[in-house]
């Protein structure tokens, strides 16, 4: 059943291409972010050998060990994206590790991140995480709050806001996620009209639903277990 991460990577790429074609999008319209959380550097190195360079981690602390370990194993320049919740006291460390943040979800956090990025001479790419379902335990901007803060967010000098990210409520079938993906795209379209700027990025779709996400306009899917197998958190 487990063919190895590099074979699975090819299979995910094939399915991504098919989903893009089905929806009349270009073959390369959607990027693949391979989610390496919980997997050791040596395992991630297998995927690098297969030619993949862009990885996502959800915890700053875990990444702080893995990223240097991996860069001592491979010669390629890798790109790291933070996909998990970012705490204020980890912002400085995160900016040293990640070039893209998928989880900025308040003006306070955005402003603080921009300030620290300025100090460090960096300008990370940022997706604003949106909580479309209003789930109490989930992080993310409510759509109304995001509309309210939009001008302030766009005035920040040292973050480059490139789009929106969502994690839909737990679902039983991939189709259950479709309305949420469509809703994120519509919110993005609305924000673009309001602000008169483009937010080309839609970070949506995971192992269980990335094909549906691509059909609904995803520009980057975050895929872990479909490539590495089931994670073991014990």
Ligand X SMILES: *Cc1c(COP(=O)(O)O)cnc(C)c1O
User: Residue 163 contacts by C-beta under 8 Å, 6 or more apart in sequence?
Assistant: 127, 128, 188, 199, 200, 201, 202, 203, 219
Q: Nearer Cβ to ligand X, position 49 or 230?
A: 230
**Min separation Cβ 67 and ligand X, Å:** 17
Whether residue 34 contacts residue 223, with contact meaning beta carbons closer than 8 Å, is answered with yes
Q: Nearer Cβ to ligand X, position 158 or 201?
A: 201
Would you count residue 139 as binding ligand X (CB under 6 A)? no
Helices 107-120 and 143-154, axial angle in degrees (round to 10): 30
Q: Nearer Cβ to ligand X, position 58 or 100?
A: 58
**Min separation Cβ 131 and ligand X, Å:** 12
CB atoms within 10 A of CB 152: 11
**Min separation Cβ 92 and ligand X, Å:** 22
Q: Which of 186, 150, 149 lies closest to 166 in space, CA to CA?
A: 186
Q: Nearer Cβ to ligand X, position 84 or 201?
A: 84
Whether residue 219 contacts residue 184, with contact meaning beta carbons closer than 8 Å, is answered with no
Whether residue 223 contacts residue 210, with contact meaning beta carbons closer than 8 Å, is answered with yes
Q: Nearer Cβ to ligand X, position 158 or 208?
A: 208
Would you count residue 52 as binding ligand X (CB under 6 A)? no
CA distance 214 to 221: 8
Q: 19, 34, 35, 116: which one contacts ligand X (CB under 6 A)?
A: 35
Stretch that binds ligand X, among 104-112, 115-123, 148-156, 200-208 (CB under 6 A): 200-208
User: Residue 72 contacts by C-beta under 8 Å, 6 or more apart in sequence?
Assistant: none
**Min separation Cβ 145 and ligand X, Å:** 20
Q: Nearer Cβ to ligand X, position 158 or 166?
A: 166
CA atoms within 13 A on the CB side of 34: 28
Whether residue 109 contacts residue 88, with contact meaning beta carbons closer than 8 Å, is answered with yes
Q: Which of residues 72-91 bind ligand X (CB under 6 A)?
A: 83-84
# residues contacting ligand X (CB under 6 A): 14
Would you count residue 201 as binding ligand X (CB under 6 A)? no
* Binding positions for ligand X, rule: CB under 6 A: 35, 37, 58, 83-84, 167, 206-208, 222-226
């Amino acid at each position: 059943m487990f063919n190895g991460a590099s074979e699975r990577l090819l299979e995910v790429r094939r399915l991504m291409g098919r989903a893009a074609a089905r929806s009349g999008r270009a073959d390369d319209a959607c990027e693949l972010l391979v989610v390496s959380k919980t997997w050791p550097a040596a395992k991630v190195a297998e995927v690098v050998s297969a030619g993949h360079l862009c990885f996502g981690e959800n915890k700053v602390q875990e990444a702080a060990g893995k990223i240097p370990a991996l860069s001592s194993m491979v010669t390629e320049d890798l790109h790291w994206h933070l996909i998990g919740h970012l705490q204020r006291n980890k912002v400085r460390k995160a900016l040293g590790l990640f070039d893209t943040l998928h989880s900025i979800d308040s003006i306070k956090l955005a402003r603080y991140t921009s300030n620290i990025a300025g100090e460090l001479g960096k300008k990370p790419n940022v997706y604003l995480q949106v909580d479309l379902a209003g789930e109490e335990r989930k992080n993310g901007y409510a759509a109304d709050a995001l509309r309210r803060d939009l001008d302030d967010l766009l005035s920040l000098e040292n973050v480059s806001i490139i789009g929106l990210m969502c994690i839909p409520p737990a679902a039983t079938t991939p189709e259950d996620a479709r309305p949420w993906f469509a809703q994120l795209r519509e919110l993005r379209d609305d924000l673009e009209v309001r602000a008169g700027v483009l937010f080309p990025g839609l970070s949506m779709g995971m192992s269980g639903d990335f094909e549906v996400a691509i059909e609904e306009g995803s520009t980057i899917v975050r895929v872990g277990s479909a490539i590495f197998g089931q994670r073991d958190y014990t």
